[in-house]
A and B are shown apart, each in its own frame.
Chain A
């Protein structure tokens, strides 16, 4: 199954290496997801969004770009007529680029997080009576909480100050280090409802909250609410 959609995000960022202020902003993005269900369910998702965030005081603003790529494998642990509970693992790759528009020399900041951990999903399938009769509805909710990660950050660590780092692939890959829950707290929750209209295609509406906190010498925190509308179909 393929699903493609657009989303609107509300992001809050606090990067103590960059500023003592909290930055917030709302911006759009696009997402696509491919899933294959057999004995196990495998899913691959990509997403991207960009827009401006504004400081809680003063006139600070920054350009924020978020890119994600994830792979999940889920095993059905329990299945009844209407419900299904799956447990598995997710490898999530997340890149957050930020450019402080009012700074001169230290404008670029980034986090590149490649994390792995358990994921769980619960689904409930049902039908409405009356006008909506015959259409299959599904409510599902999913959580992901990584236990280990490969992490590369910019000015979140003082080490990043050397060389006026840009967020180039060379810089990001050079500074990768492995970390666990002590260095990175990350959590992701997605819940949604979808309706099959005809021949396996339909629409879905998802709410997602993802949060991370990187505990370096300076701390970076980001929380993002996203509301996604997807069109899905069978290949």
Chain B
């Protein structure tokens, strides 16, 4: 009996003490963190071929800059310089309050949107439903969707479209909309399409190779209380329309009664995934890409039907050339 108890006690102590040896933490020195980041991107990122980035060359360039003496700040700067080569707004590196994300898809271009000016000059009687802003201009309507994120609720979408059900045409303004959840995009699109439609294909990463993908997954949507189906739709865009906003504009571009006006969208076709590095930094990367029904990769954005940009003269004189063009087009 005593021997059995002794053996059990020894086994318990052995298991507890050995567990750390069995489930090991990864090394957390700067070299190990850099290697982990590079490897995670190498095996998981979906857009190397589309971006034409030589990731091995990036390793050869940046790896020698890292040693065990590299400080945390220096390591962050080296890693973000390497990630910046991808020019992807879905790629981010987060260390607590310190965050890197690529902003080149909009900050080198005119902003083309000033909501304060728009409200003051063109839409004084604007109404709000949650984050959605809407207005009536005689028989036409205006709807501003600032985000498809958590702050936009499905109930607010339904209520706004009930209000706008009787308009004869609608301006949908998605300028400065940085994206969010596809569920919100789908709910809005379901109110605008007349029949079940094929809207895009998602292509997910399958294996560690840069071009290991699953077959494209078709994305279909069917109408759901389609209150505005078939009516003229004018979609206002700028470079800050990114990610699921880019998807929304793509879906609208498939409709014969919709016209895209403004600047090219910011792109961002991939689905961003998260991964924690050994030192606790969070890496975000695109795990998929999307192509239009015609097979065009929409990562670089969607070109408008009518390219309109606010000139310096427009801005200094308090004009929104994009909105003005849309209103004239509608009338």
Within 8 A of B (CB), among A73-103: 100, 102-103
**Bound complex: CA of A230 vs CA of B7, how far in Å?**
23
**Bound complex: CA of A22 vs CA of B206, how far in Å?**
25
**Bound complex: CA of A189 vs CA of B16, how far in Å?**
13
User: Which of B96, B277, B287 is the one whose CB lies under 8 Å from A106?
Assistant: B287
- The majority secondary structure among interface residues of chain B is mixed
Does B217 lie within 8 Å of A163, measured CB to CB?
yes
**Bound complex: CA of A158 vs CA of B11, how far in Å?**
36
Size of the chain A interface, CB-CB below 8 angstroms: 39
Q: Mark B22-38, 1 if CB is under 8 A from A, else 0.
A: 11111010000000100
Does A20 lie within 8 Å of B273, measured CB to CB?
no
Of chain B, the residue at the smallest CB distance from A12 is B23
Of chain A, the residue at the smallest CB distance from B36 is A20
Q: Does B117 contact A (CB under 8 A)?
A: no
Q: Which B residues are in CB contact (< 8 Å) with A211?
A: 22
User: Which of A58, A102, A161 is the one whose CB lies under 8 Å from B287?
Assistant: A161
Q: Does B274 contact A (CB under 8 A)?
A: yes
Q: Does A221 contact B (CB under 8 A)?
A: yes
Q: Which A residues are in CB contact (< 8 Å) with B297?
A: none
Size of the chain B interface, CB-CB below 8 angstroms: 42
Q: Which A residues are in CB contact (< 8 Å) with B276?
A: 18-21, 55, 57-58, 60
Instruction: Give chain B nearest CB distance to A53 CB in angstroms.
Output: 12
**Bound complex: CA of A124 vs CA of B28, how far in Å?**
47
**Bound complex: CA of A211 vs CA of B14, how far in Å?**
14
Interface centre among A100, A106, A139 (most CB of B within 10 A): A106
Q: Does B226 contact A (CB under 8 A)?
A: no
**Bound complex: CA of A103 vs CA of B4, how far in Å?**
47
Instruction: Give chain A nearest CB distance to B268 CB in angstroms.
Output: 13
Interface centre among B23, B26, B272 (most CB of A within 10 A): B23
Q: Which B residues are in CB contact (< 8 Å) with A122?
A: 4
Q: Which B residues are in CB contact (< 8 Å) with A12?
A: 19, 23
Q: Does B102 contact A (CB under 8 A)?
A: no
Does B16 lie within 8 Å of A225, measured CB to CB?
yes
**Bound complex: CA of A163 vs CA of B215, how far in Å?**
11
Of chain A, the residue at the smallest CB distance from B281 is A58
Does B23 lie within 8 Å of A221, measured CB to CB?
yes
Does B280 lie within 8 Å of A14, measured CB to CB?
no
Q: Does B142 contact A (CB under 8 A)?
A: no
Q: Which A residues are in CB contact (< 8 Å) with B274?
A: 100, 102-106
Complex A-B: 11 CB contacts under 8 Å: A20-B36, A21-B278, A59-B280, A60-B280, A106-B274, A126-B1, A141-B8, A158-B44, A161-B273, A207-B12, A209-B15
B residues adjacent to A (C-beta < 8 A): 1, 4-5, 7-8, 11-12, 15-16, 19, 22-26, 28, 36, 43-44, 96, 204-208, 212, 214, 217, 271-282, 287-288
A residues adjacent to B (C-beta < 8 A): 12, 14, 18-22, 55-60, 100, 102-106, 122, 124, 126, 139, 141, 158-159, 161-164, 189, 191, 207, 209, 211, 217, 221, 223, 225
